[in-house]
Chain A
Amino acid sequence: MSAEETHHSADVAARVERRWATIFVIVIVMMAALAAFAGIHRATMPQPRVETTDPSRIHLSGEFVESNLGSVLEADGNVTVRAIGQQYSFTPACIVVPADTPITMRATSADVVHGILIQGTNINTMLVPGYVSEQLMRFTRIGDYLMPCQEFCSFGHEGMWGKVKVIDKSEFANRAKAGGRLSCVGE
């Protein structure tokens, strides 16, 4: 093989390689652009805002006092759910919500790091003590969903399972007439 041929094949190698690199730079830019588009256009994104709360005082005052936990039908027809996680349970342990309704879940932890995962959905958030987690959700299927804690929270972690009960919209409205905060604990 002459020196010239070597030089030629080196050029070919470099060209093929550059082509491959260019293709993948385009792929990567497309991925990021797609995520940005979906985030801006469809507002699908991880929790955007940072809110704090003092876990040593949540049981005394503020939105996470015991009497305020559970589901409430707001004046605009939307539903807000408030919950806390603590070693080793959720309060309320059974969350009741209506189907086909925009729901805002606000939750925090009273002690260590926990997580909320509703099986069969993409509702999934960390509960970090000191911070408030907010998830927007909407259920289309009536039924019971398991809601395990998805983060290690010490020795009882494997026993920390809650439940979400999705009921018919009108049934929820009926229950909400009595006022107060709704849950399905004990049902």
Chain B
Amino acid sequence: MLVNRKLILAHFWFAFAVFGVALTLGAWQMFIRSPIGTWLSNPELYYRSLTAHGTVMGYVFPTLVAMGLGYAISESALEQRLVGVRWAWAGFWLIVGGSIMAVIPIALGRASVLYTFYPPLIGNLFYYLGVVLVVVGSWIWVALMSINLRIWRKAHPGAPVPLAMFANVAGSYLWAWTAVGAALELLLQIIPVAAGLKATIDAGLARVFFSWTLHAIVYFWLMPTYIAYYTIVPRAIGGRVYSDNMARIAFILFLVVAMPIGMHHTFADPQVGAGFKFVHSAFTALVTLPTFLTVFTICASIEIAARLRGGRGMFGWIRVLPWDNPMMLALAFSFVMLGFGGAGGLINMSYQLDASIHNTQWITGHFHLIFGGAIVIMYFAIAYDLWPHLTGRELNDLRLIRTQLWLWFIGMIVTTFPWHWVGILGMPRRMAYFDFGDPAIAPQALSVTFSAIGGFILLASGILFLVILARGMRAPQAEAGAYRFAAAVHQSATVPVALNTHALWVALMIALTITNYGYPILTLATTEGTSVPAVYVGAQ
């Protein structure tokens, strides 16, 4: 029962439109700094592009996808009309307004500070205010998800919350809390300086605040993908969820342990001591658990689908899976990329190994493989799956859809594998130019060229994606029926209270954040003489 289709479509269309723009910028960046590009005489243009690419891909695109999917889940899984539709539209327009407000100073070269801000570099005030508006808009969504679930609970006392909604609300709480780190950095530190009220800033403290957001935000990006793994894929390929309880445990673990681990981004930093670096490293190891559980549960769930289709043998069942189904294909690609990306991630979070790849192209390769690969390919699959329900029209060009998914997968591998390799060779990140004539850098030229080609394959795939969706808006009308989620093999009538509510876990998330961040933040905030003069970007 999707009533507010326009609202959801608006979120998806704006998300995918800005994704298209940012993807184009990304491909251009890959090209211009590769040996096949010509020397960009003004490197500053590269950093404008990079700031726009990161800001859109990090803050705007995944947030809107999570929001749109969240509204769709709320209406279809709870089978109740969305309460607070006007607020939802207000949130949407705040994000649109914030995005425009942020992008104008970027385009003018007044905010080339990258999406990670990097104080004491300070850009134009309106860039930061735009980002704040985007976050505020998304917080309205968080509140609406919570309110809608509460209304449903009142009408269904004691009943198990549908898994999709349980996960969706967990994701929204994770986002609300992880955004607080960057919000504190912006409101307490950066914005007063950008507004001219202060002239100094503690760069070390700012990095710690940002790390609070920087890691868990990835798990927020991941949430729609994991929701699709558990509640959409098994239904789409004719299987069942292996275990409803284990799915809930995975989402709860993400909520609790995705948060207090961000300082593994500051292993190489001088403002954090070894003790907290180790604690965060150990907690990061822990956050692999929900992913390991998910890999097991989802593989078991698709095995069920294969057995129902008559699959036999230890591995023989893999052959009878519905490989022509885009959802099956997307899942397989997503898992392969999650496997490689996750293995790389274990190196990044390692207390000892991180030093060999910190801030090299390895890191860029890593998060493009995880986010752009494993996560975004499932965003595509979600859009394809939901589209007929949103437009009331057919979306049946499966061949084209499969081509798009294949291109994205190939493009992502061709882009990120050489990227990892040059990272091991020590190639630094975020550079507008490399002197491939230098004999020490020349061996990296071939790998960088491959990456650039991969970037264009990705661009082709992205354009194809937009074309498929646009054609879907004009296809013949067809009623898609109610939007449904996968059922579990053993659906019990009751779920333990701990697996049916969020309060305890939210409390634990906040408590763990305070124990893992409280002391470092307090010491840094009270250490004298660490505030340094701001350096204004675009002022020279």
Contact = CB atoms under 8 A, between A and B. Distances in A.
Given A28-B286, A50-B272, A130 B352 contact: no
A13 B300 CA distance: 10
Contact of B268 (A14, A47, A48, A146): A47
B359 A17 contact: no
B207 interface: yes
A150 B118 contact: no
Interface string A20-60: 11001101100110011011000011111111101110000
Contact of A35 (B278, B289, B293): B278
Interface in B412-453: 425-426, 428-434, 438, 440-441
A178 interface: no
Contact of B204 (A25, A130, A151, A153): A130
Interface string A123-134: 111111111111
A56 B44 CA distance: 26
Interface string B315-358: 00000000000000000000000000000001000111011101
B181 to A, nearest CB: 17
Interface stretch (B145-153, B377-385, B503-511, B523-531): B523-531
Nearest to A24: B292
B289 A24 contact: yes
Given A35-B352, A50-B272, A56 B535 contact: no
B155 interface: no
A148 interface: yes
Contact of B274 (A46, A52, A157): A46
Interface stretch (A64-72, A89-97, A113-121, A169-177): A113-121
Contact of B288 (A28, A39, A50, A127): A28
Given A13-B489, A46-B277, A148-B428, A134 B270 contact: yes
B328 to A, nearest CB: 22
B112 A155 contact: yes
Nearest to B242: A13
B29 interface: no
A131 B204 contact: yes
Nearest to B292: A24
A36 B282 CA distance: 9
A61 interface: no
Contacts of A119: 425-426, 440
B79 interface: no
A133 B268 CA distance: 9
Given A119-B426, A154-B537, A155-B44, A126 B489 contact: no
A121 B540 CA distance: 36
Contacts of B300: 13
Contacts of B271: 50, 128, 130-131
B120 interface: yes
B270 A35 contact: no
A154 B529 CA distance: 24
A39 B352 contact: yes
Contact of B490 (A13, A32, A47, A126): A13
B268 A125 contact: yes
Interface in A140-187: 144, 146, 148-159
Interface in B119-141: 120-121
A75 interface: no
B356 A150 contact: no
B interface, size bucket: 35 or more
Contacts, number: 206
Given A28-B285, A35-B278, A150-B359, A46 B351 contact: yes
B529 A130 contact: yes
A108 B270 CA distance: 9
A121 B426 CA distance: 8
Contacts of A118: 426
Given A24-B289, A52-B529, A55-B532, A126 B270 contact: yes
B216 interface: no
Contacts of B281: 32, 35
Nearest to A118: B426
Residue among B118, B269, B430 facing the most chain A CB atoms (10 A cut-off) = B269
Contacts of B207: 113, 128
Given A112-B118, A120-B426, A157-B431, A48 B47 contact: no
A107 B273 CA distance: 17
Top 8 A-B residue pairs of the complex, sorted by shortest distance between their CB atoms = A119-B426, A48-B274, A150-B359, A131-B270, A150-B428, A130-B530, A122-B356, A158-B431
Given A13-B300, A39-B352, A49-B273, 17 more contacts: A28-B289, A32-B281, A36-B282, A45-B352, A46-B277, A56-B533, A112-B121, A117-B358, A118-B426, A128-B203, A130-B530, A131-B269, A148-B426, A151-B429, A154-B535, A158-B43, A158-B46
Interface of B: 43-44, 46-47, 112, 114, 118, 120-121, 202-204, 207, 242-243, 246, 266-274, 277-278, 281-282, 285-286, 288-289, 292-293, 296-297, 300, 346, 350-352, 354-356, 358-360, 425-426, 428-434, 438, 440-441, 489-490, 523, 527, 529-533, 535, 537
6 contacts: A35-B281, A56-B532, A112-B118, A130-B530, A150-B429, A155-B43
